[in-house]
A and B are shown apart, each in its own frame.
Chain A
Amino acid sequence: DADVTQTPRNRITKTGKRIMLECSQTKGHDRMYWYRQDPGLGLRLIYYSFDVKDINKGEISDGYSVSRQAQAKFSLSLESAIPNQTALYFCATSVGTSEQYFGPGTRLTVT
């Protein structure tokens, strides 16, 4: 669904670097989410936001921070990247409690 976009799509960075992943949506949804996907572990929730002033930690928030700059934008930051943060990162949006719409994913490699 092209209404949820993520940048960059691929990124290789070095240990200790700060990196930001961005997510934008044109669906007008109030809720936004960041997940990471790892083989054998499925999708795990990092952070979620119900509106601009409401941000909540997910199950694996350590080492990550987020910013909800506007209803349409939700950024994920790795302040000091480490190799075990190498993963596929997905942003998603939803209206209330309904279906989630996913972005195309960002493949992050930390060397």
Chain B
Amino acid sequence: AQRVTQPEKLLSVFKGAPVELKCNYSYSGSPELFWYVQYSRQRLQLLLRHISRESIKGFTADLNKGETSFHLKKPFAQEEDSAMYYCALFSGGYQKVTFGTGTKLQVIP
């Protein structure tokens, strides 16, 4: 079975401070990992995926297969980053996506 764990329900940081949202997964195969973001009163939208190795809105995430992690990082938090963040795993074997429980990021001015 596949599982995605986001240990923090709420993460509060000051504006300008570094941010790290944790995500760990368990899956026996080769996973595809994603980060989705949900801003207040908006629908979920894709933030980034590990296969594209891109930086979106200053966020990056590296897949660490040894630690089975896909943590989301940003060097300097902005107020507009305040949102709910979901880590998600797509498994080719089960052909479906499993979401973590989400972490609410609160950036304090």
A94–B1 alpha-carbon span in the complex (Å): 22
Once the chains bind, are B99 and A104 in contact (CB under 8 Å)? Answer: no
Least Cβ–Cβ distance between B30 and chain A, in angstroms: 12
- Taking CB atoms and an 8 Å cut-off, the chain B residues in 1-40 that contact chain A are 6, 9, 32, 34, 36
Closest to B4 in A: A42
- Interface extent on A, as a size class? 20 to 34
Are A99 and B49 also in contact (CB < 8 A) when A40-B9, A40-B101 are? yes
* Interface residue A52 (Cβ < 8 Å from any Cβ of B): no
Once the chains bind, are B97 and A100 in contact (CB under 8 Å)? Answer: yes
Residues of A within 8 A of B100 (CB): 42
Once the chains bind, are A97 and B46 in contact (CB under 8 Å)? Answer: no
A33–B98 alpha-carbon span in the complex (Å): 12
- State the main secondary structure of chain A at its contact with B: strand
Closest to A105 in B: B43
Pair count A-B, CB < 8 A: 46
* Interface residue B44 (Cβ < 8 Å from any Cβ of A): yes
A42–B32 alpha-carbon span in the complex (Å): 19
* Interface residue B96 (Cβ < 8 Å from any Cβ of A): yes
Residues of B within 8 A of A12 (CB): none
Identify which of B34, B98, B102 contacts A99 (C-beta below 8 A): B34
* Interface residue B70 (Cβ < 8 Å from any Cβ of A): no
Least Cβ–Cβ distance between A81 and chain B, in angstroms: 24
- Taking CB atoms and an 8 Å cut-off, the chain A residues in 60-110 that contact chain B are 90, 92, 97, 99-100, 102-105
Q: Would you list the 8 A-B pairs with minimal beta carbon distance, nearest first?
A: A42-B101, A43-B99, A102-B44, A102-B43, A42-B102, A99-B46, A104-B43, A42-B99
Q: A residues touching B (Cβ–Cβ < 8 Å)?
A: 1, 4, 33, 35, 40-45, 48, 50, 56, 58, 90, 92, 97, 99-100, 102-105
